[in-house]
Amino acid sequence: MLPRTGPDAPWPTSLWVVRHGESAGNVASDAAEAHGHDRLDLSHRDVDVPLSGLGERQARALGRWIADQREDERPTVLWTSPFVRARQTAEMALETAGLDLPRVIDERLREREFGVLDGLTRRGIAAHYPEESARRAAIGKFYHRPPGGESWTDVLQRLRAVLDDIRLDADGERVLLMAHQVVVLLTRYVLEGMDENQVLALDAEAEVLNCAVTAYRHDAGAGRLVLERYNEAAPLDELPRGPASAEALITGGLGAGRVRAARPGHPAPRGTTMSEQPATSAGTTSPAGEGVGDEELTEQVADQTSSDLEVEGVFEREADGASTDTEAAKATGDELQ
Question: Within 13 A of 224's CA, how many CA atoms are on the CB side?
Answer: 17
What is the SS3 assignment for 104?
strand
Give the residue among 31, 25, 21, 85 at the shortest CA–CA distance from 54: 21
Q: Rounded to an integer, what distance in angstroms lies between the CA atom of residue 266 and that of residue 268?
A: 6
pLDDT tens track for 303-327: 333 344 434 444 433 333 333 333 2
Helix (H) or strand (E) holding 174: strand 174-179
pLDDT tens track for 114-137: 999 998 888 888 899 999 988 988
Contacts of 201 (CB under 8 A, 6+ apart): none
The architecture CATH gives domain 14-239+273-291+302-329: 3-Layer(aba) Sandwich (3.40)
Q: Indicate if the pLDDT at residue 269 is higher than 90.
A: no
Other Cβ atoms less than 10 A from the Cβ of 322: the count is 14
Q: Rounded to an integer, what distance in angstroms lies between the CA atom of residue 269 and that of residue 216?
A: 23
pLDDT tens track for 20-66: 999 988 778 778 888 899 888 888 899 999 999 999 999 999 999 99
